Amino acid sequence: MPYADFFNVKRTAILHGKTKERIFEELAGLIVKFAPDVTLESILENVKERESFISTRITEALAIPHARIPGFPGTMAAVGVSRSGVLYDTHDTTPVKIVVLIVGDGNDHLSAISWTAERLEDEERLKAVMTAGNHRKIYSILTGKELPVRRRRVTPKEVPAAKFLHRAYELAEELGVSAVIYHASTVLSVLNFKPKRNLPLYMIVTDRTLTSQKIPGVKETVHVPFRVPNRTNQVELALIYLISQGIIGKDQKVISVLGAPEKEALDTVILSDSRDYKLFFKLGRKPKPLDLEQQVFSRAIQIASELAYEGREGKPVGTLFILGDHEKVLNSCQQMVVNPFGGYKEENRNVLDPGLEATIKEFAKIDGAFIVRGDGVIVTSGAFIKAQGGAELVQKGFGARHTAAANISAATDALALALSESTRRVSVFKGGKRIMYF
């Protein structure tokens, strides 16, 4: 089911309430019109329970409250825009102006929340939603359903990008590569591009909504959510993702075409082959660890790479994520502090929930590791790794955190992501070995 189908123009409104509670009532009222067997009170009770755990405010202007109700018919979202804004948190006086309430049976819950958050990460789209004249315009901007990609005349500013892509494709054919990977800051430069059928063109985008749109000349549009500080890492992480998805093979030679972030101009071509691929496992139909879901692996890398890039409060931070095979991992761990996630429902402590991102990054300052179940549920943080058996495989110069990552990945089937505080680089360990770093 396309994520945009969770929304409905009749569940979109200009809000009139002046308080957080009143806003919840307005949005829940829109939901119950489509789910007559569910009461307004049951939705509000679930929403308030989630808010008591942690605020569902995502950014200064956006909040995504949500509720899981057993037996609810699927997943539904109600969207409201408050012109004046409402006070959402007692500790933050900045008013929230967009509130998206998501209610469902739990099957597509986190996907709907994640899609909505990513959709409104774009500042231009966020402002457009806040200033839209009516509820129909809000729905159209948010979902993109009434704004399909259309061919239009390429501006003079975009002509160099189109020419650069064309020349890069000719070079790819001369070198006999298997595919061209285009890192798109704009889709316009490929709208009139028609590559030969035997050399596919893949487009990498940071906006997930573009993956549902058919771009002429592009075999597949792939959403890669990683935020990285330089172009080399950008290419490497994109290739990791493409290999892990089975889109390209580890033995294939490819060309990546890209430019400076958020710029129209393309200026870089990078040739990569099997010697450059540091990921020697495949996540997909038969992932290892067997319980580790692809989206959880991708989300963990995204959070780790953002921590490497941002730090906390202007200072670098180091941390460790242990993914999958959690029962064996727990047998090799000792809790160093009181588990910050203990006692909370599983749906309130999943790494896929964008509302938990700030909390995870804050807890990254605590010594010890995050233990994450294969489906994304955070079992604990602040855990001390006691496992032995992989330290001899760690190269000289690595400290306790990387040694622990090697040991636990050697003693179990888990993957370990270690973020170095000193170098701000992320290393991935499997089977006691560091299989990649960025």
Nearest to 115 by CA among 6, 190, 37: 6
Listed in sequence order, the residues at least 6 apart from 356 whose beta carbon sits closer than 8 Å to its beta carbon are: 54, 348, 349, 350, 378
For residue range 309-326, list pLDDT tens digits in order.
888 887 899 999 999 999
Position 274 scores a pLDDT of 64
- Predicted model pTM: 0.66
Q: How far apart are CA 271 and CA 280, in angstroms?
A: 19
Q: How far apart are CA 145 and CA 148, in angstroms?
A: 6
Q: How far apart are CA 410 and CA 412, in angstroms?
A: 6
- State the DSSP string of 292-347: --HHHHHHHHHHHHHHHHH-BTTB---EEEEES-HHHHHHTEEE-S--TTTTS-GG
User: Over the range 246-277, which residues count as b (16 or more CB within 10 Å of their CB) and which as e?
Assistant: ebbeeebbbbbbbbeeeebebebbbebeeeeb
Position 284 scores a pLDDT of 44
Q: Which residues of the chain have pLDDT under 70?
A: 1-2, 146-162, 185-197, 206-216, 225-230, 233, 244-245, 260-265, 274-288, 389-398
Position 260 scores a pLDDT of 67
For the chain, what are the domain ranges? 3-143, 159-276, 294-437
Across-strand partners of 319? 419
Instruction: Looking at the structure, give the CATH architecture of the domain made up of residues 159-276.
Output: 3-Layer(aba) Sandwich (3.40)
Position 283 scores a pLDDT of 46
How many Cβ atoms are within 10 Å of 213's Cβ, its own excluded? Answer: 14
Position 192 scores a pLDDT of 54
How many Cβ atoms are within 10 Å of 176's Cβ, its own excluded? Answer: 8
Instruction: Looking at the structure, give the CATH architecture of the domain made up of residues 294-437.
Output: 3-Layer(aba) Sandwich (3.40)
CATH class of 3-143: alpha beta
